[in-house]
Structure 1
């Protein structure tokens, strides 16, 4: 969908298909900057050691610490407004993961899975999103390059459904675009048959009452955290809401990172 689309329309597309793509939401210049910020770290990033992680796939986390440009992605107005509305059922939502997925030539297709299976495969209600993920295209996404594959509408299928690669479609999108998708939708990385690396910035959110995939309190140093925009610090999970996350005498944990 167009980057000028109304938030309500983006949310409606997500509800119908289990995902929505926003075309070229940010500039190539921002993506260039992010790539430059992350290149030194990617040189030593490990490849997967399990089949489900991809033996030809590098993963690099702690992106808030490492990339000011990624912070801009998280706070991008249209993107964050869409995420916020998708979590309107929850008293609090939080940042769960920031990670580069770098799929090298020859990487095989990942098995189709639901992200919500992370939480002990608990059968959450189909109309309640616990986990919402997103992939920002740091490079173009083409089928040949191993674009992520999704099974449209499978967010309504439940945790025990079975799909094959032929049921899925490649998510092709231009650099600077973003796909926002439900933790319930069946998806997986594609087979990279090209001679180019396919890279994405994976940013995921969850409701506030489940464990974050990436420990945001340790992934970003206190010195860096204190200098971040207040809204981003709250998203990282420092905001105490709904009776959880408090410190001391039932005080808001935000006070621990605020500069006097």
Structure 2
């Protein structure tokens, strides 16, 4: 009997046009983008994250605060660098402002809404924001993680054959990811499955990738971290990943970016990062303070630049 082919994810370079990258993600449910960050950018991110990982305790199974997905949801012997935007603002900003990250998030998460306001047709195209920014340091002996769908955090039920998703995952490799050190397992095509279908481990592909590569996947795609079976001290025995996930701009973020990022840090962030972090209103108006952008209420210096951009955009529409 001929064995079925081993499931695999497609890998394309970061120079690939966004429409081609998105087409593959829509077809397979996930994709690896090589050369997303340069070696120098990866080295800088690893150096900046090291002090935080050094003082972070590894996760222990059945001893977790986040239990909505079950007490065994997080893999053991894994350090989580939560609130990463506030701790590594420069490096998270590089990811958030990356044209590939923004392009993929926008094309998959955008929604065009048309509705009359009186007799005038209002057309709105929603955008995306950061849902979660977290680092992972996976050590030898880490168990595998259960296969799951991320969009359950938004209480979104998958529909068979549907390309709708509330969020998109992104993991940037800080070290080489191999099957042996626990490369994320992804089930190709599972974003199109009925919610009644149970994922099987043998259907999953190991998302092996080099440092600096990034994996993107639908929130409806089944996936989960693999087991790290390395021996302590061997080459590539630890797997470091930087996760910057996106969701639709009218949904609640998985991690509250405004609270995990100190105000003194937020005041230094580029305007684009503040927009993606939820410090401005969504395209449809969600998230206001006194009907205005939060950065106005907080007196952020970026408010003036944001106001000027909105004025220019309004003028362009009228023209």
* Stretch moving more, 206-215 or 85-94: 85-94
Could you tell me how far apart the structure 1 residues matched to 2:154 and 2:107 are? Answer: 23
Which residue is 1:123 aligned to?
157
> 2:32 is paired with a residue of what secondary structure?
strand
Q: Does 1:243 align with 2:254?
A: no
Change over 3 Å in CA distance of 1:124–1:155 after alignment to 2? closer
| Counterpart check, 1:63 vs 2:99 | no
Please say which structure displays the higher CA radius of gyration: 2
Q: 1:202 and 1:176 mapped to 2: Cα distance?
A: 12
Backbone CA RMSD of aligned residues: 1.5
Is 1:33 paired with 2:37? Answer: no
Q: Could you say what secondary structure the match of 1:254 adopts?
A: helix
Query: Where does residue 313 of structure 2 map in the other structure?
Result: none
Structure 1 residue 124 displacement after superposition: 4.9
Residue aligning to 1:199: 240
Q: Tell me which residue corresponds to 1:83.
A: 105
Give the 3 Å change call, closer, same or farther, for CA 69–167 of structure 1 in structure 2: same
The 3-state SS of whatever aligns with 1:81 is helix
Q: Which runs of 5+ in 1 are unaligned?
A: none
1:222 and 2:289 correspond: no
Report the count of equivalent residues: 258
Q: Which structure has the higher relative contact order (CA within 8 Å, separation 6+)?
A: 1
Summarize the Cα distance change of 1:41–1:257 in structure 2 as closer, same or farther, 3 Å threshold: farther
Corresponding residue of 2:149? 114
Q: For residues 16-57 of structure 1, what are the alpha-carbon distances to aligned partners after superposition, in whole Å with 9 as ceiling and x for unaligned?
A: 001111112111111111111111111121322342112211
Q: Which runs of 4+ in 1 moved over 6 A?
A: none
**Residue 175, structure 1, aligned to residue 211, structure 2:** yes
- 1:181-236 CA distances to partner (integer Å, 9 max, x unpaired)? 00000001001111311111011111122221111001111111111100000000
**Number of the residue aligned with 1:44:** 55
For structure 2, which runs of at least 5 residues remain unmatched after alignment? 1-11, 64-70, 112-124, 232-236, 305-319
Q: Give me the TM-score of the superposition, normalised by structure 2.
A: 0.77
- Answer yes or no: is the 8 Å Cα contact 2:106–2:127 preserved in 1: no
1:144 partnered with 2:180: yes
2:158–2:220 Cα contact (<8 Å) kept: no
TM-score, normalised to structure 1, is 0.94
Distance 1:173 1:203 in 2: 17
Q: Secondary structure at the match of 1:47?
A: coil
